[in-house]
Amino acid sequence: MSDRLSRLGDVIDDYCPTCRLLLNHDVAALVGVAIAKVTCRTCFNTHDFRKGQVPAKRKSKKEEPKSLVDQVLATLPPPPVIPLASAAAPPPRKRRDLWAEVKRIQEQQQKKS
């Protein structure tokens, strides 16, 4: 069958760049005896004959995708260096007495009025 010369309208397998699959195509153009253009029978896209060659897959930018945790950790700044001396550590924060705050604000308002 491969000995027979292709003719216009023959059905031939080729890679469709639109469908991105190896599909049936019609021979649409010949240059001498060589197939020049084919038309996809699925999407009717006419393109150069690719001799049934499926293109190599594109390389992904990352060879090995990192885990999500590693990706997030890579974006974070390095942790701050905490000195070991306890004297340098700030004193513990006082707990805010909210009722004292309310009283202070009420007194300020009474002074104004």
Establish if 89 lies at the interface with Zn ion (CB under 5 A): no
Strand-pairing partners, residue 39, are 26, 46
Establish if 36 lies at the interface with Zn ion (CB under 5 A): no
Which residues lie closer than 8 Å to 46 by C-beta, 6 or more apart? Answer: 28, 37, 38, 39, 40
> Are the C-beta atoms of 25 and 12 separated by less than 8 Å?
yes
* Two tokens, residue 2: 């491969």
Site for Zn ion in 46-85 (CB under 5 A): none
> Are the C-beta atoms of 40 and 28 separated by less than 8 Å?
no
Q: Which of 16, 27, 35, 38 binds Zn ion (CB under 5 A)?
A: 16
Return the number of the residue (43 or 89) whose C-beta is nearest Zn ion. Answer: 43
* Two tokens, residue 31: 């240059």
Establish if 42 lies at the interface with Zn ion (CB under 5 A): yes
* Two tokens, residue 50: 């690719």
Return the number of the residue (41 or 66) whose C-beta is nearest Zn ion. Answer: 41
Q: Count other C-beta atoms under 10 Å from residue 84's C-beta.
A: 7
| Stretch of 4-12, 34-42, 53-61, 66-74 lying at the interface with Zn ion (CB under 5 A) | 34-42
Establish if 11 lies at the interface with Zn ion (CB under 5 A): no
Establish if 18 lies at the interface with Zn ion (CB under 5 A): yes
Establish if 27 lies at the interface with Zn ion (CB under 5 A): no
Can you give the binding site for Zn ion, defined by CB under 5 A?
Answer: 16, 18-19, 40, 42-43, 45
